[in-house]
Homo-oligomer: A and B are copies of this chain.
Amino acid sequence: MHDMMASRPAPNPAPDLQAVNVSESASKLASSPSFSPLYRQIKGLITRSLQQGDWKPGELIPSEADLARRFGVSQGTVRKAVDELAAEGLLLRRQGRGTFVSTHHEERVKFRFLRIVPDAAADGARPLPQPMERQFLECKRTRASQEVARTLGIKAGESVTQIRRLLLLAGEPVVYEDIYLPGPAFRGLTAERLESYRGPLYALFESEFSTRMVRAEEKLRAVNASAQEAQLLRVREAEALLLVERLSFSYGELPAEYRRGLYNTRHHHYRNELN
């Protein structure tokens, strides 16, 4: 372990449980094979507070100096922890104002996960200022199929909420998708609520179902449109469509949503950046 930890007289031995935890775990991890630096432990503590809902999306979290005092570490160490969380999109720093819990309500981050872009858009352009219309075709509680269950990490036959919807961009149907949400958390999600809500689905999930989507994995394939799919997306039968399967995760890598979307890529494309 970094000796400074053990020998340091706990500069501000605030009778705060977390501070003790940090010191303890730091000492324990001294020569442990799973050693992790202080700032990562701090990061873990902050993440836990986010998971537990101590600080909710959109809210201001304590200042760096404050956190440093609570945890009994220097501000620089807190800073590094917060830096990583901000880089991962869990926190949002605003100079002069403070650090906030990220939310899908922010204008800047809306439709963060939607990668569809009109072909006409300039290459470096921001996506989606174009008018978007949503049609909810279905919203029902049902039982998880084997595939859905496996993906969401639940048992086949367990209750899930299924949403079927159509997205139109500039009047053209572009996305047709099924959304599966695990039962317990999303009880009470109705077609009416979906219809009346303005703003991204993920913002609704956040506000009313305490589920924030943190990151997602997508699998893309090309498939030929079925008759029904073709009709809804107004393309020819057997025309090529982009199949996008998305698994979204909430805090703590918890699978919280599975989507299966068909994208009409006649006048739009899926945009990706490789680094």
Instruction: Kindly list chain B residues whose C-beta atoms are within 8 Å of the C-beta of A275.
Output: 88-89, 215
Contact with B along A246-275 (1 / 0, CB 8 A): 110000000000000001010001111111
The answer, yes or no, to whether A240 is at the interface (CB within 8 Å) is: yes
A70 to chain B, nearest CB (A): 25
Contact with B along A82-113 (1 / 0, CB 8 A): 00000111000000000000000000000011
Q: Which residue of B lies closest to A241 (CB)?
A: B222
CA distance A263 to B222 in the complex (A): 9
A125 to chain B, nearest CB (A): 12
- The verdict on A241 contacting B240 (CB below 8 Å), with A221-B269, A269-B221 known, is yes
The count of chain A contact residues (Cβ–Cβ below 8 Å) is 34
Give the interface of A toward B (CB within 8 A): 87-89, 112-113, 115, 123, 215-224, 238-243, 246-247, 263, 265, 269-275
13 contacting pairs across A/B (C-beta < 8 A): A115-B274, A123-B217, A217-B273, A218-B271, A219-B272, A221-B242, A222-B223, A222-B240, A222-B242, A223-B240, A224-B238, A246-B274, A272-B272
8 cross-chain pairs, A with B, having the tightest CB-CB distances, nearest first: A222-B240, A240-B240, A222-B222, A221-B265, A220-B270, A216-B274, A222-B242, A219-B269
